[in-house]
Amino acid sequence: MKMNQSYMKTITYMGLFIALEVILTRFLAIQTPIVRISFTFLPIALSAMLFGPLFGGIAAALADLVGMMLFPSGPFFPGFTLTAFMTGAIYGLFLYKKPATLVQISLAVIVVTVVITLGLDTVWLWLITGQGIWAILPVRIIKALIMAPIQVVVIQAMRRYVIGRLAINYL
């Protein structure tokens, strides 16, 4: 019986994190054609911390797909779904069942920022918009330099104050 309750808790929390990510992305973000400023990293990082890289990646990819189906903001591009999955997986690799140190969280944010945000997402934008990478990269770098420290602080605060209060005793 405990196994079934564990699965139900996992599904419930995953659904909550997916819904929260869709809301943060579609309604509470500042969106330009090149840059999106939001706190969408938070539900993805939390799901990855709680359930690991695979489920963190699945939650991020499902949130991208659900958000795109319910609230389309342009043509669907599977590259963004891939990078969403990779973002959740990277957070899970660095934060799942690991010590909640500033270094661990910073490494996760740096890898996501460099590989996903500045790397793959910039390439996807280049493919979609046709704008030169060197034309869109400076704005994205400035946004990354501003958001990375904010992400580290917010993820550390959430890990410290929220994760312990969630009733997830089966991890």
**Domains with residue ranges and CATH for the chain:** 2-165 (1.10.1760.20)
The residue type of 14 is M
Write down the pLDDT at residue 1.
45
Residue 162, phi then psi, degrees to nearest 5: -100, -50
Of 57-61, 93-97, 98-102, 165-169, which gets the smallest average pLDDT? 165-169
pLDDT tens track for 72-124: 887 889 999 999 999 999 999 999 988 878 999 999 999 999 999 999 999 99
Contacts of 132 (CB under 8 A, 6+ apart): 126
Q: Where do we find the tokens 């797909």? A: 65
DSSP-H helix ranges across the chain: 2-26, 41-70, 78-95, 102-111, 121-129, 133-161
pTM: 0.89
Task: Judge whether residue 48 has pLDDT over 90.
Answer: yes
Please name the residues in contact with 167: beta carbons below 8 A apart, sequence gap of 6 or more: 9
Choice between 116 and 161, residue whose per-residue pLDDT is larger? 116
* pLDDT tier for residue 169 given thresholds of 50, 70 and 90: very low
